[in-house]
Structure formats: C-alpha cells, structure tokens
Amino acid sequence: MNDKTIDSILEETRQFPPSKESSTGANITKEELEQLKKQASDDYEGFWAQLAKENLYWFKEFTTVLNEENAPNYEWFGDGEINVSYNCLDKNVESSPNKTAIIFEAENGDTRRISYKELLEEVSLFANGLLSLGVETGDRVIIYMPMSPEAVVAMQACARIGAIHSVVFGGFSSNALKDRIDDAKAKIVITADGAFRGGKTIPLKQATDNALKDWNHSIEHVIVLKRTGESVSILEGRDLWWKDLIKNQNKESTPVPLSSEHPLFILYTSGSTGKPKGIQHSSGGYLLHAKMTFKWIFDIKDSDVFWCTADVGWVTGHTYVTYGPLAAGATILIYEGAPTYPHGGRFWEICEKHQVSLFYTAPTAIRALMKLGDDIPNKYDLSNLRLLGTVGEPINPEAWMWYHTVIGKEKCPIVDTWWQTETGAAMISPLPGVTATKPGSCTQALPGISVDIVDEGANPVNQPNKGGYLVIKKPWPSMLRTIWGDNERYIETYWEKFDNKYYVAGDSANMDQDDFFWIMGRIDDVLNVSGHRLGTMEVESALVAHPDIAEAAVVGMPHEVKGEGIFAFVVTKGERPLGAMKNEVTETLRSWVSDQVGPIAKPDEIRFSDNLPKTRSGKIMRRLLRSIAKGEEITQDVSTLEDESIIKQLQQNE
C-alpha cells in the first residue's frame, strides 16, 4: 500500500451509523454486544464454551476448553468429538430438508438449486466413493476444481470421513499444484476436465497430469468431474470419473466422530520466504468461529440469499462459502465464472436474478466494477440487497463510497472484515446493527477477540493514528494450529517476535481516537495482489528459474484496480535487452511466470538492468527498489550502495 492511500485514509472523517432497519431485529444488538464482550472479559473460556455448546452439535461433549500446555500450539475443545459435515448438513436436514442450500449460476447462465437434503445425499454418495478408494481418516485430498457445487460436495465429503482437504485454486499452474501435492503427501486429487471462465476453458485435468508427470508422487487416484466436456486422457487404474465413482454408492453415510482438534483442512498461503505455508485448521474451533462470525457479521436471516464471490481456493471460500453459511443453514449462491463475463453487469444481474440480499466481495472487484461506470449497476434491480461486505485488503474510501451509494443505495451497512487465512474467520469487523462505520476502517474486534497494536518492544502503542504491529493477544478457537509439517516455521513466523506471547499478524495498523482499526498493509515481503497474498520470493524464484535470467528482485507498486501490482527488476545472463528485444523478453517472462505460478503472479512491469542495487555486503536494497517502482524521487541514503550509477539505469527504463 502506498503512502498516499494511508494519508487519504487518515483524513477520512465520515461516519455512517446503522440505520433503523439494520439495527432493528439485528442478530446482535448494542445490548447483546455489550453482554457478549462482558462475558468474554469476565470468563474467557466460559464464553467460548457456552457458544460451542449452544451452536454446535457434539458427539461427545468436551471437558477442556483451552489447552495451553504446548503454547503456542493451543488446543480448543480437544477432548470433544464432532463432525463438521454433520453440523453443516444433517442438522439442517432435520429441521428444514427442502430449504435451498446452494443456488448455482453457471457462466452460461444455467441455474441449479440444491436443497439441504439433496446436498447431504450428494455428499454422502461422494464420501462413500472416497471410502471405496481406501481414503482413511487423516489422509490428504487435494481439490483442484472449478467454482461449483461439486467443489463444496468434495470438501464436505472429506470433512464427513475425516480426510484432510487441501483446496488448490484452479487458477494456479501445474507447478504450484505439484508443490502442494508434494508438501501434503496427498493420496487423491479431485479435479475436473476443465473450468469455464471468461468464455474460455481452463484445462484442469491436463494441468493435473502435468503436475503428476515424472516424479514419484503419493497420488493413488485422480477423480475427474465432467464439466466442459473437453477430451482428456484417463490413466487406467489411476483416474476415474466422478459419476462412475458415485454410481453404485449408498445414499447414506455415517459421519465419523472426530476429535475437535482433528485437522479439517490445510490451505496453502504465501509467506515472505521459501515455499508456500500449509496453514492447518482444526474442526470444532474452526467451525465455531466460522458459524458465529457468519451469524454476527452478516446478520443472516432465514429468507436471505448470501453471495460470497470468493473462490473455494481461498480461505474466504472455505469459511464463508462452504462452512460458516452451511453450518448456519443459510442459502448461498455460487457463481462459476468471471465477474465481467459476458458483460460488465454480470454480478449485478446475478444479484437481481437470484434476489441476493447479502453480498460479500473484495476491494479489487469493487474497484474494477466501479471503473465501468454507474450506468451498468443502475440498470439492475438491486433492491433486495440489505448488506454489503468487503475483505482481502484495505478498501480505499472512494471505492467504499461507491459501494455504499451506487450498489447499497445508501441503505446497506458495509462490513469491512479483517482476517487472514491463519485466523480462520473474521476478527475485526463492524456489526451491522451496532457499529457506525467509517470508509476504510475495519472498525473493531469481535466479541472474544483481543486485538492490539504494539511497538517493537511489545508495548501497546496507545496513541491515536500511530502505527505499529497488529497482534492478537489471546488464542482464539479458529486460529491456525500449525504449519503443516513445519511447526518450527509456525512458531518463528507468528510467535517468536514477541516471545510467544502474542500472535503477530504481519500487518501494520493504527487505531484512531474512537479505537477503530485502520489496516495499513503488510510489514513483510508479501504482496497483496487483488486481495490475494503472494510472496515476492515466489515471483523471484519463478523468474530466476528461467534459463536466461541471472537475478531478479520483486517489489509491490500501487495499482488502481489490483491494489498492489508486481514490479520486477531483472538481470539477464547475456546482454541487457534493449528496444524491441526488451518487449519481447518482457512478454516471454510474463507468460513464464504465469506458467510457473499462475496468472495472478504475472509481473505488471519488468525493468532490466546490468545489476541490482546492492549494499557492499551484498544485500539488495529493496527500499530503494520500492521507491523506483513508485516513480518516487530517491531521497534515501544510497552511500552504502556498491554502484550508484545503477540507480539511473533502473529509473530510466531504457
């Protein structure tokens, strides 16, 4: 995030108190919020225990709430037994079997509605299918699928039998898929022949075949959903079609009672160094916070249609597509395709068509749609919308105001929810019936969540508008449990900085005079591109993996739509490319990175130089590169630079 955005956010003084409509009958009223906060501060464990007992079904009730013995490897409700899929499906089938669980809108406009009863049946068939392939509790299953009801079915089926799923975003390349299969030592890949997106198809099965080529992997079977109908190769004995797998299965399946601490899923996310981290989440604690935050923040009512636009490949697509809403018995909408296909009004058309009442998306999408002009959304009837949400990065006040006026018609509260893959569910967010929102602020911590801003010495900053490290001071139920296979990295990354006392989120933030939080951005070498985390290292490794590249350094730069764009400084092995050659090499490298990691990692700009700016001790001066990427004047001290003339070359882009 650039300094200008920080400034403009700091100047923001507008406030939007909840309207009568949003506060009357809200799931959480002002009094209830105070009550919840008081309970949490009087008896922290008792507070969570009560919520867990009242909101989840336990096969065996827990007796321990929080186990701190192996801190910071905390455990929640550890001796309780639970099944996540039972809580999401069977519980709702008991009370309202015919309620729509999923409305599916395909990219070509086809619609499918699936009731809770039907969803349970599909999940059961598929769970039995997995069992028939020898999948056991604790086995890892990779899900590399299009945005579809079947992706949810696959996740829920894993949860039902205690297999640990790891969803890999369908936009990732076969290389990224391979790394994740390898790290998770997965037994099964569930994929599709292809995915429809933006009028094109993405060949998922082919990418899976590439990922599995030429190495001694752990995969025993690949399950293939037929979606696009393109021809794919089927490896006899290893690959099988989804429909054949479920053909002769029983329609009923017994949910396996699992320890509350049993890993529900691993989700890979970028860190500042090295390979992606497998964030490991639990069953009971995760589901509790997913369900509670869903009810509190989105104020779900029986008649609502909730649409979270996130792909199941991201944590938002886990917590607010597959788990939170289904645990709460809500009707969700799943859209298969691109936001602007076949026209810029597609999102709003879907809202009208399916009477979406709660809409949750990312600032990058809001900015992209805002750029298309007001006429487009104004063509649609958005009167069913009653609440809007945003997540993934700080939202600039301009985009917030547009969302508020043009989409929300000034009547929908906006919930700006701050959280991370690691936190499992939202941590800081307005409550629509209570909080007076301010454009650009995620406002205040949720009940039971203890967030603060501290300085280098772990002291609370306690001063309005002064930045510091965003920390979480108490363990919470949906926190990550570890990094899969690397507990040391877990402790190092999130806890060591403040002697294992506080969870360090990796964001800088400040609080204003009303104790509202304003997120300023990442403090590490992590980019936030379109609301998705990417390590600068990942892009650098991809670049230097190209045979013609000697060195690369990647930094973020402000980007109108994506929030942050990717700026790569590259040193080639031979001559520095000039003129037409430069454009050619640039395009080659852009598609190279796209193949290596995925299209989201494609550098927006590449600049070639004879050398990278390094200190005499050989450290790349990233601060300098960041300034150059932003086109700023160089004001910093460059006296430690080995070769000062390199700056001119980097700036001039010749």
Would you tell me which residues interact with ligand WT7 (CB under 6 A)?
269, 315-316, 391-394, 416-421, 442, 505-507, 519, 522, 528, 531-533
SS3 category, 203: coil
Cβ proximity to ligand WT7: between 318 and 346 the closer is 318
Quick one: how far is CA 390 from the chain centroid? 12
Cβ proximity to ligand WT7: between 139 and 538 the closer is 538
Q: Give the shortest CB-140-to-ligand WT7 separation in angstroms.
A: 20
Q: Give the shortest CB-464-to-ligand WT7 separation in angstroms.
A: 19
Angle, CA 273 vertex, CA 267 and CA 277 arms, to 5°: 15
Cβ proximity to ligand WT7: between 329 and 535 the closer is 535
* Side-chain half-sphere exposure of 185, counting CA atoms within 13 A: 4
Tell me whether strands 188-192 and 140-144 are parallel, antiparallel or unpaired.
Answer: parallel
The strand pairing partners of 565, in sequence order, are 557
Of residues 361, 371, 345, 348, the one with CA closest to residue 414: 361
Q: Count of residues for the chain?
A: 654
Cβ proximity to ligand WT7: between 200 and 626 the closer is 626
Specify whether the CB–CB gap between 348 and 378 falls below 8 A. no
Q: Give the shortest CB-267-to-ligand WT7 separation in angstroms.
A: 9
* Consecutive H or E run containing 484: none
Q: Give the shortest CB-312-to-ligand WT7 separation in angstroms.
A: 13
* Consecutive H or E run containing 409: none
Amino acid found at 287: L
Specify whether the CB–CB gap between 218 and 186 falls below 8 A. yes
Cβ proximity to ligand WT7: between 127 and 505 the closer is 505
Cβ proximity to ligand WT7: between 515 and 644 the closer is 515
Tell me which DSSP letter residue 17 carries.
Answer: P
Cβ proximity to ligand WT7: between 77 and 268 the closer is 268
Cβ proximity to ligand WT7: between 121 and 416 the closer is 416
SS3 category, 491: helix
Q: CB nearest ligand WT7: which residue?
A: 421
Cβ proximity to ligand WT7: between 35 and 465 the closer is 465
Whole-angstrom distance, CA of residue 614 vs CA of residue 505: 29
Specify whether the CB–CB gap between 234 and 222 falls below 8 A. no
Specify whether the CB–CB gap between 395 and 415 falls below 8 A. no
Amino acid found at 619: K
Cβ proximity to ligand WT7: between 354 and 522 the closer is 522
Cβ proximity to ligand WT7: between 224 and 505 the closer is 505
Q: Give the shortest CB-520-to-ligand WT7 separation in angstroms.
A: 9
Q: Give the shortest CB-95-to-ligand WT7 separation in angstroms.
A: 30
Cβ proximity to ligand WT7: between 228 and 319 the closer is 319
Cβ proximity to ligand WT7: between 418 and 608 the closer is 418
Whole-angstrom distance, CA of residue 588 vs CA of residue 510: 41
Whole-angstrom distance, CA of residue 422 vs CA of residue 42: 26
Whole-angstrom distance, CA of residue 122 vs CA of residue 99: 15
Cβ proximity to ligand WT7: between 87 and 421 the closer is 421
Q: Give the shortest CB-160-to-ligand WT7 separation in angstroms.
A: 25
Whole-angstrom distance, CA of residue 24 vs CA of residue 164: 41
Whole-angstrom distance, CA of residue 509 vs CA of residue 465: 9
Q: Give the shortest CB-319-to-ligand WT7 separation in angstroms.
A: 8
Of residues 644, 604, 610, the one with CA closest to residue 624: 644
What separation in angstroms does the CA of 650 have from each of 498, 558, 615? 38, 18, 16
Q: Give the shortest CB-258-to-ligand WT7 separation in angstroms.
A: 25
Q: Give the shortest CB-122-to-ligand WT7 separation in angstroms.
A: 27
Q: Give the shortest CB-545-to-ligand WT7 separation in angstroms.
A: 24
Tokens of 154: 């696959």
Q: Give the shortest CB-120-to-ligand WT7 separation in angstroms.
A: 28
Specify whether the CB–CB gap between 406 and 380 falls below 8 A. no
Of residues 156, 146, 157, 160, the one with CA closest to residue 193: 146
Neighbours of 519 (CB within 10 A): 22
Angle, CA 297 vertex, CA 294 and CA 299 arms, to 5°: 80
The strand pairing partners of 555, in sequence order, are 567
Q: Give the shortest CB-315-to-ligand WT7 separation in angstroms.
A: 5
Q: Give the shortest CB-265-to-ligand WT7 separation in angstroms.
A: 14
